[in-house]
Amino acid sequence: MALIKDGKPASLVLADGQIFTGRSFGAEGTVIGEVVFTTGMTAYQETLTDPSYYGQIVTQTFPLIGNYGVNAADHESAQSYVGGYIVREWCNTPSNFRCEGTIDSFLKAHNIIGLYNIDTRRLTRSLREAGVMNGAITTSDPQEHLPELLAQIRAYAVRDAVANVTGTEQRIYQPEQVRRRVVLFDFGYKRNIRQSLLERGCEVIVVPAQTTAKEVAALHPDGIMLSNGPGDPSENTQIIENLREIAKLAIPMFGICLGHQLMALSQGARTEKLKYGHRGANQPVIDLASGRTYVTSQNHGYAVIGDSLDPDNAEVSHINANDHTCEGVRYHKLNAFTVQFHPEAHGGPLDTAYLFDEFTARMDAYKKEAE
């Protein structure tokens, strides 16, 4: 296994003035973004193609990345949305029968600037202590224009994230045998959400993020899926208003990650930005109904404030075992439930895949009542 050591000099400059000097791989240039870390030991390719990372520079805490290469079949979307990518070491000689290329070739193909050979443990500690902060990866000498670069870094904000990742038209996907029809809102959805529905006999109609209640009703779905996605959920005021009307259709609804947050906002709850978020495949979540703890895959920087939910309409169903933040909501007056984590995660734990089965059961009951 060969570890690359000959990249060009490159640096990470953080908003607080810290500079981490290493080597570059992937594309060259300068990119500014919100610097975050993820603790996943595998699934780096899924991370790189997850639209929820739009506008962010992603740091992998696991020290060796790329040892099984990349392949098109595991992409979560058609392109990469990360702003930049940081690892301790990367492997130039991947070994896997499904391998179609190296992580370096992937980054070059998607014009993503990578940085390696820095102390990612020190960087992660800084982000845990200070919270996520803006930063820039640059392959030029940052000292030559440091005041200007710091000003740009500190002024940066992730804006219009959903608008930049959602599709612009409807797309239909069919299983071998159609048993149900699901409208899947594309807030930056991961392909494995679609695949999880197809495997359960659902025809999936992927719709743009701004789709209205009238447009949803015209499709006559048996269920509505609210996907993951990037950015500050409260920024999406029109989508939140649309969801308020869509919920009145009484069609079964299931939300994941951003979809979970947007649904809560549509029902009068509030969200908050977490200090450094939850990103990785080992997040413990407690199901309050059963008391059981599940290992989950997560990628989010915001959370629903559980106490802001209307107790007559909703209750917190799951909490994070580490910080007790809200990880799920069940609605009393709506045919809806949502979770903050990813039950469809690949690669990652599949402990909570049963939630898709609950969704299909709700759809079947809804169809039976309509007959």
Give domain status of residue 34, yes or no: yes
Q: 148: domain CATH number?
A: 3.50.30.20
> Within this chain, do residues 205 and 233 fall inside the same structural domain, yes or no?
yes
Q: How confident is the model at residue 1, as a pLDDT?
A: 42
Which of 158, 186, 209 marks a domain boundary? 158
Burial 166-184 (b: 16+ CB within 10 A, else e): beeeeeebebeeeebbbbb
Tokens encoding 107: 């980054």
Whether residue 4 lies inside any domain: the answer is no
Residue where a domain stops, chosen among 158, 193, 212:
158
The CATH number that applies at residue 253 is 3.40.50.880
| Tens digit of pLDDT at every position of the chain (371 positions) | 444 457 899 999 999 999 999 999 999 999 999 999 999 999 999 999 999 999 999 999 999 999 999 999 999 999 999 999 999 999 999 999 999 999 999 999 999 999 999 999 999 999 999 999 999 999 999 999 999 999 999 999 999 999 999 999 999 999 999 999 999 999 999 999 999 999 999 999 999 999 999 999 999 999 999 999 999 999 999 999 999 999 999 999 999 999 999 999 999 999 999 999 999 999 999 999 999 999 999 999 999 999 999 999 999 999 999 999 999 999 999 999 999 999 998 778 889 999 999 999 999 999 998 87
Considering the domain boundaries, does residue 132 fall inside one? yes
d(CA 42, CA 60): 10
Domain check: are 298 and 360 in the same one? yes
DSSP-derived pairing of the beta strands 84-86 and 64-65: unpaired
Bond into 40 cis (ω within 30): no
* 283/38 Cα distance (integer angstroms): 11
d(Cα 50, Cα 330) in Å, to the nearest integer? 26
Q: Say yes or no: 143 and 272 in one domain.
A: no
Place of tokens 């008391």: 291
- Rounded Cα distance between 82 and 77, Å, is 12
Q: Same domain, yes or no, for 58 and 141?
A: yes
3-state secondary structure of 229: coil
DSSP state of 70: B
SS3 370: helix
Last-in-domain residue among 131, 158, 185: 158
* Sheet-wide strand order for 271-287: 171-173, 202-208, 180-186, 223-226, 253-256, 336-339, 326-331, 314-320, 271-287, 293-304
Residues 261 and 227 in one domain: yes
Same domain, yes or no: 141 and 167: no
49 and 72, same domain (yes or no): yes
pLDDT given at position 5: 53
Asked whether residue 213 is assigned to any structural domain, the reply reads: yes
In a domain, 1, yes or no: no
User: Which residues are the active-site residues?
Assistant: 257, 342, 344
Helix (H, G, I), strand (E, B) or coil at 2: coil
253 and 216, same structural domain?
yes
Calculate ∠ Cα 125-341-120, nearest 5°: 20
Locate 173 and state its tokens.
């996907």
**Contact by Cβ (8 Å): 127, 276:** yes
Do the domain assignments include residue 351? yes
Q: Give whole-number Cα distances, 351 to 4, 196, 342, in Å.
A: 36, 14, 10
Is 133 in the same domain as 71? yes
> What is the CA angle 337-323-162, rounded to 5?
50
219 and 290 belong to one structural domain: yes
Pick from 50, 57, 44, 22: nearest CA to 103: 44
Q: Helix or strand or coil: residue 227?
A: coil
Clarify whether residues 295 and 152 are in a common domain: no
One domain for residues 15 and 135: yes
Please give the C-alpha separations between residue 188 and each of 4, 163, 194, 237, in angstroms, as whole numbers: 33, 9, 12, 17
Residue 3 maps to a domain: no
Residue 311, both tokens: 């107790």
Number of domains in the chain: 2
Count other Cβ atoms within 10 Å, centred on residue 327.
30
What distance in Å separates the CA atoms of residue 158 and residue 273, rounded to the nearest whole number?
13
Full domain range(s) for residue 115: 9-158
The reply to whether 208 falls in a domain is yes
